[in-house]
Amino acid sequence: MSSSRSRRAAGWLAPGLASIVVLGWVFAGSHALAQTTAYPGIGRTATPAEVTAWDIDVRPDFRGLPPGRGSVALGMEVWEAKCASCHGIFGESNEVFSPIIGGIAAADQKTGRVARLLDPGFPQRTTLMKLSSLSTLWDYINRAMPWNAPKTLKTDEVYAVTAYILNLGGIVPDGFVLSHDNIAEVQQRLPNRNGMTTAHAMWPGRPLGTPSPQNRRPDVQGSTCMTNCAAEPKVASFLPDHARNSHGNLAEQQRPVGAQVGADTTRPPPAALPPRSARPAVVAAAAGPASATPPHPARALAQKHLCLACHGVENKVVGPGLREIARKHKGRADAADYLAQRIANGGVGVWGPIPMPAQPQVPAADIKALADWLAAGAP
Ligand code: HEC
Ligand code: HEC
């Protein structure tokens, strides 16, 4: 596959691998391509190169793994340049995602079962604690990381950074080179390689109701109390009042669709839930003060371009609250230009160590509208 652009075009259109048809209009003007098809008039069969670009999954038996190799040393360079800002120098950061490294012991490599997973006192589950198939780690990095620029790593860099993660976890030594030749052997050192169960109906080929001894049960077990059941549950703890709004206004963070929206946490909780007939008003309130001032159109842009995944309107989520940004740069003569530049190119260091990724997918006109809105105080 020659370019990531054609890769994306194929990805966007292909609904499933069984019978991929690429719609003709995308390749309008390319008559040779628009000819052969099982569905006359609506496209053509995908080319082998297009299928190859899609077919990147690596399976637990390492089928699908492209050949290559990468050292721990190269992995450290990749990690520090492209991963550490979000995951921490040692993969220990809890800022952007839960830690990747930690919680495993040397003894786990012998048992293949991470002992700490059974310790309710251990606060968190890291990636290396849970990982049972090395293919998953390789595949996930290859397809999804770095988060702000997926699919930009070369194959050897994926091997290298995977080796580095394993090295940080004490699973392979400093001088190690991970390759398609030895990855199956490294799988046998994973601390939680025996941690996956397939003895339940979630696993294909063993549906519920298969006769005993093959009988499979769901992967979670519950029991319904039918007799002598405990009395009404008693609520033993409440969210303290001061914490109600500590993650920003929930009503602003949920899509105002349907009857279920977040509570307006800027106000004290109502003594009783509003009657069902009054709920649509709640929806309208969550979308913005409907009556007098309709929400500013730039807020819809912030939602559309997923800015709100990282920025609350008032509060910090991953990045600062949008109104916090507006306040910080209030009075700055070049605020609109500065903010437009920051939105387009991303950057780091004004608010802390977490970077904002560049936003090349956002049209320039929308960036300007967002920047003008922020420069005007984000009304
Ligand atoms: C801009 C921030 C950012 C950068 C840079 C980044 N990641 Fe991530 N990473 C994330 C987020 C967020 C998630 C969780 C994504 C999700 O669950 O949808 C994640 C998840 C992961 C996971 C999965 C962990 C798990 O247990 O599910 C791995 C492994 C990982 N990243 C490795 C890397 C590597 C290797 C790099 C560098 C090549 C990298 N990341 C760069 C933000 C980032
Ligand atoms: C992946 C998370 C993420 C996404 C998505 C994101 N941002 Fe950011 N943004 C951040 C972080 C983190 C910072 C702080 C960077 C810093 O400290 O310099 C930031 C900083 C900014 C700044 C600069 C603030 C300053 O004081 O210089 C602006 C403006 C901004 N974001 C607007 C936006 C807009 C508009 C969008 C949507 C088009 C958006 N961001 C999408 C995480 C994100």
In sequence order, the 6+-apart residues with CB closer than 8 A to the CB of 153 are 78, 82, 141, 142, 145, 146, 161
Tell me which residues have their CB closer than 6 angstroms to ligand 2: 302, 305-307, 309-311, 318-319, 325, 328, 339, 342-343, 347-352, 354, 356-357, 359, 362, 370, 374
CA of 319 to the centre of ligand 2 (A): 6
CA of 275 to the centre of ligand 1 (A): 43
Radius of gyration of the chain (CA): 26
The CA-to-CA distance between both ends of the chain, in Å, stands at 46
CB-based burial label for 19 (10 Å; 0-12, 13-18, 19+): exposed
CB-based burial label for 263 (10 Å; 0-12, 13-18, 19+): middle
| Tokens representing residue 332 in the block | 């700055």
Give the count of alpha carbons within 13 A of 353, CB side only: 11
Q: Which amino acid is at 194?
A: N
Superfamily of domain 297-375: Cytochrome c-like domain (1.10.760.10)
Whole-model pTM: value is 0.60
The CA dihedral of 298, 304, 309, 312, to the nearest 10 degrees, is 20
- Domains 69-187 and 297-375 alike in fold: yes
CA distance 186 to 132: 12
**Tens place of pLDDT for every residue, the chain, 379 residues?**
333 333 333 333 333 333 333 333 333 334 444 445 677 888 888 899 999 889 999 999 999 999 999 999 999 999 999 999 889 999 998 888 899 999 999 999 999 999 999 988 887 899 999 999 999 999 999 999 998 889 999 999 999 999 999 999 999 999 999 999 999 999 999 999 999 877 776 666 666 666 655 556 666 777 778 888 877 778 888 888 888 888 888 877 766 555 566 788 888 887 776 666 655 444 444 444 444 567 789 988 998 888 888 888 888 888 899 999 999 999 899 999 999 999 999 998 999 888 888 898 899 999 999 999 999 999 8
CA distance 325 to 322: 5
Tell me which residues have their CB closer than 6 angstroms to ligand 1: 78, 82-83, 85-87, 96-97, 100, 127, 137, 140-141, 145-148, 153, 161, 357
Q: Looking at the domain 69-187, which fold is it?
A: Cytochrome Bc1 Complex; Chain D, domain 2 (1.10.760)
Kindly list the domain boundaries of the chain, sorted by start residue: 4-54, 69-187, 249-265+279-292, 297-375
CA distance 246 to 315: 8
CA distance 128 to 118: 15
- Chain centroid to CA 182: how far? 29
Residue with tokens 């109104």: 323
